[in-house]
Amino acid sequence: MNAPVIEARGLEKRFGPVVALAGVDLDLPRGCVLAVVGPNGAGKTTLLRLLAGLARPTRGWVRLEGVARGRREARRRIGFIGHATFLYPALTARENLLFAARLYGVSDPAGRAEALLARQGLAQVADQPAGSFSRGMAQRLAIARGLVHDPQVVLLDEPFTGLDRPAADRLDAQLRNLRTEGRTCVLATHDLARAAAVADRALVLSRGRVAHAAEGAPLVGETLERAYLAAVDGSA
């Protein structure tokens, strides 16, 4: 049996009377890419924040390889790439990566930073401040920072936002490489075509609940689109 890398049971998150997420269960094995789709307000970002340990569930629990996700040893195995880049705008691209690498105790921060800058096509602008970057360049740098400590689990919240076609294709290839390397990825996105292309599992969320679940690579894009449209209609 391929033991789950991510386990979640009965995940619920409330903000006062508002239910952002309710009753979500997950069993994600090593090398799985899960796409989480749904309309705005469906609970996608909330789910990722709970998996990352950035928020506490109102009910339920999350474990990463059997370890409660709030513990430091579990958090170090997670790379989180949010919709907002959270880069330090006054620092250069290289300095942003070096800072993150040192925080995680990466053994060769400079070497790791250079490798990721090259992989993201940012080597030529490595010494420019991140605050001068376009949205797409900043997103590529944020992706590099999320991978700087070589995490086992990678959580991505709308990572294709602001990327041009070559950069989006590069991210597609990275996601496939991460799966081949045995990483477990959770991808929240509105891009159904890319979700179907890179993921082997999918959840459609509507009002914080699972409206549709699919498994098996490749996912059928038409089925995913129909479930998504039904979720949109149900959230209106």
pLDDT for 221:
64
Say whether pLDDT at 1 is over 50. Answer: no
Between the alpha carbon of residue 91 and those of residues 60, 111, 127, 136, 218, the distances in Å are 39, 18, 9, 17, 40
Tell me how long the chain is.
236
Angle at the Cα of 191 from the Cα atoms of 189 and 193, rounded to 5 degrees = 130
pLDDT for 35:
93
The 10 Å Cβ neighbour count of residue 71 is: 12
Say whether pLDDT at 171 is over 60. Answer: yes
Mean pLDDT, rounded, for 192-209: 88
Q: Are 171 and 81 in contact (CB under 8 A)?
A: no
User: Greater confidence, 156 or 223?
Assistant: 156
- The span from the CA of 104 to the CA of 152, in Å, is 14
Q: Are 48 and 216 in contact (CB under 8 A)?
A: no
Q: What is the dihedral of CA 107, 111, 114, 117, to 10 degrees?
A: -30
Of 73-77, 82-86, 89-93, 110-114, the one with minimum mean pLDDT is 73-77
Of 22-26, 49-53, 75-79, the one with minimum mean pLDDT is 75-79
Span between the terminal Cα atoms of the chain, in Å:
41
Say whether pLDDT at 208 is over 60. Answer: yes
Radius of gyration from C-alpha coordinates of the chain: 17
Beta strands in 96-232 (DSSP E): 153-157, 184-188, 201-206, 209-215
Report percent pLDDT > 90 for the chain.
56
- The span from the CA of 105 to the CA of 229, in Å, is 44
Placement of tokens 């991140």 in the chain: 130
Please give the DSSP secondary-structure letter assigned to residue 220: -
Between the alpha carbon of residue 171 and those of residues 120, 126, 166, 233, the distances in Å are 9, 19, 9, 30
- The span from the CA of 83 to the CA of 159, in Å, is 7
The type of residue at 221 is G
Mean pLDDT for all residues in the chain = 88
- The span from the CA of 79 to the CA of 74, in Å, is 11
